[in-house]
Amino acid sequence: MDTDQVRATFLEFQRERGHAILERASLVPHDDPTTLFTGSGMQPLLAYLEGADHPDGPRLADSQPCLRSRDIEDVGDDRHTTFFEMLGNWSLGDYGKEEQLRSVWELLVVRLGLDPSRLYVSCFGGDKEYGLPRDDESAAVWGELFGAAGIDAPVADLGTLARAGEVGSDGARICFYGRKNWWCRGDSMDAMPIGDPGGTDSEMFYLFADIPHDPAYGAHCHPNCDCGRYIEIGNSDFMSYQRTADGFAPLPRHNVDFGGGLERTAAAVIDSPDIFRTSLLWPIVQRLEELSGARYEDETYAFRVVADHLRGATFLAVDGVVPSNKAQGYVMRRLIRRAMRTAHTLGLDEDFVGGLVPTVAALYRATYPEVEERHERVVDVLSAEETKFRRTLDRGLAHVRTYVGQTVTGADLFAWKDTYGFPVELSLEEVRTEGLTLDPGWHDQLDDLVREQRERSRAATKKEHL
């Protein structure tokens, strides 16, 4: 079963259960000024999750393209991307926890054929500060499902992620965590805006037992460990609360929100921990191999960064974004330029964007035909940025490499940007790549110089108008 078939199976399964299938929303939210990109499947549905009635009814489903720029530094391992699709289904005050969890089990085990003995789950362990109870209901449903499949399902209460790394899960199949299993839009339970919905969640993980635990992520492994043995393939959010000034109050209508990463689920289906070997990413990797003459096995990090960033930039261009120094355009510019810097290590110093966009367009021809319909414009937009940055990249890299054996200061980073047009974030990556020493006070030094430059600019502008 390839990635397109996984998506189709999910949507057909939800249609059979009475869900209306929604069209994808733009990567650029048109009515949500709080965020730059559509970063989850629920984001376009926020008004309905807060209580409004959806015109298509209380049961909804889709596969929503998403972009999370905060994950850009994580791209390069076997499971992180900035661009991905989120499989989602929602109950707006209709069914609850038990029906949702049973349907997830049927989807993963019966329809997609995943080995249930490699599935592990987490549940909310409660929060004393806010008086929120432990989600024993979800744990009981999971226990029954595993038991019916003849699988022992011991339970462990692990608390925080830090504690879980210290003690490990000791083979537990159902693990309680604290705030890690609380869902909200903000960075944390405490940071939730007043009025926002939130609630407990239950996450599903798939075990790749052949991957050894990396103690850099804690002395012991557990389902929510970041070492790569377990990969999260989905979570069910039970939105039952609304943030208030002094805590949480029940939502007038309880909702269910399921989100499952399409690429991660497809990786589990083909029994590979590497999502770049799934059918919507591997052809991009193969095209890069043709263009560069390099091999994925030898330059894995570089292939992953270029494949992800160019796919994401392509979809941004399809949805009307152009590179700039502000907002969505800045993130797009960073994706393209980071892809170019990384492609440089593969020997791709000529125009290569035009050779990749048609590959991306062909992959999404059936599902998102607009990608192919607009691919010539996409090539023009991305190639123009590539041409613009090519000279800057060559000069900047050459200059940075003259600093071998020296300490790089904030003044150096400022000069590289001011003189050579080399972005600070790329300078920092190059410093790490070349193993250069970075002055501990570089950030404050850089801020001071940027502030001084702005003040000089304002003074000059004021003088021009006297």
Structure tokens at 366: 């059936």
Place of tokens 């003088």: 463
Average pLDDT over residues 148-159: 96
- When pLDDT is cut at 50, 70 and 90, the band that residue 464 belongs to is very low
Q: Which CATH class is domain 3-273?
A: alpha beta
**Burial class of residue 34 (count of CB atoms within 10 Å of its CB; 0-12, 13-18, 19+):** exposed
Residues 6+ apart with CB under 8 A from 393: 337, 340, 341, 344, 422
Q: pLDDT at residue 176 above 60?
A: yes
Q: pLDDT at residue 94 above 90?
A: yes
Q: Beta strand pairing status for 174-177 and 119-124?
A: parallel
CB 351 within 8 A of CB 322: no
The pLDDT, as a whole number, for residue 460 is: 43
Computed over every residue of the chain, the mean pLDDT equals 90
Q: What percent of the chain has pLDDT over 70?
A: 98
What distance lies between CA 68 and its chain's CA centroid? 5
Task: Return the SS3 of 53.
Answer: coil
Task: Return the SS3 of 393.
Answer: helix
Is pLDDT larger for residue 396 or for residue 5? Answer: 5
Place of tokens 């029940």: 250
- When pLDDT is cut at 50, 70 and 90, the band that residue 465 belongs to is very low
pTM of the entire predicted model: 0.88
Q: What percent of the chain has pLDDT over 90?
A: 65
Q: What is the pLDDT of residues 307-337, one digit of tens each?
A: 999 999 999 999 999 998 888 998 999 899 8
CB 3 within 8 A of CB 263: yes
Q: pLDDT at residue 273 above 60?
A: yes
The pLDDT, as a whole number, for residue 453 is: 80
Structure tokens at 60: 């909804």
Q: pLDDT at residue 447 above 60?
A: yes
- Distance spanning both ends of the chain, measured CA to CA: 70
What is each CA distance from 404 to 33, 251, 346, 394, 398, in whole angstroms? 43, 58, 22, 17, 11
Of 131, 12, 27, nearest to 86 (Cα)?
Answer: 27
Residues 6+ apart with CB under 8 A from 26: 38, 319, 320
Cβ count within 10 A of residue 150: 8
Q: pLDDT at residue 185 above 80?
A: no
The pLDDT, as a whole number, for residue 457 is: 61
When mean pLDDT is compared across 131-140, 145-154, 410-419, the lowest value belongs to 410-419
The pLDDT, as a whole number, for residue 395 is: 79
Cβ count within 10 A of residue 108: 22
Show me where the domains of the chain are located: 3-273, 281-403, 409-457
Average pLDDT over residues 78-105: 95
- Quote the CA–CA distance of 94 and 389 in Å, as a whole number: 52
Q: pLDDT at residue 466 above 70?
A: no
Q: pLDDT at residue 8 above 50?
A: yes
Residues 6+ apart with CB under 8 A from 133: 126
- Quote the CA–CA distance of 315 and 238 in Å, as a whole number: 30
**How is residue 73 annotated by DSSP?**
G
Average pLDDT over residues 371-383: 92
Q: pLDDT at residue 462 above 70?
A: no
Residues 6+ apart with CB under 8 A from 243: 184, 192, 193, 194, 195, 196, 197, 198
The pLDDT, as a whole number, for residue 251 is: 86
Structure tokens at 452: 């001084």
Average pLDDT over residues 189-203: 90
Structure tokens at 401: 């490499």
Q: pLDDT at residue 355 above 90?
A: no
Of 119, 124, 263, 104, nearest to 182 (Cα)?
Answer: 124
Task: Phi first, then psi: give them for residue 201, nearest 5 degrees.
Answer: -140, 165
Q: Beta strand pairing status for 197-207 and 182-183?
A: antiparallel
Q: What is the pLDDT of residues 227-269, one digit of tens each?
A: 999 999 999 999 989 899 889 998 888 999 999 999 999 999 9
- When pLDDT is cut at 50, 70 and 90, the band that residue 133 belongs to is very high
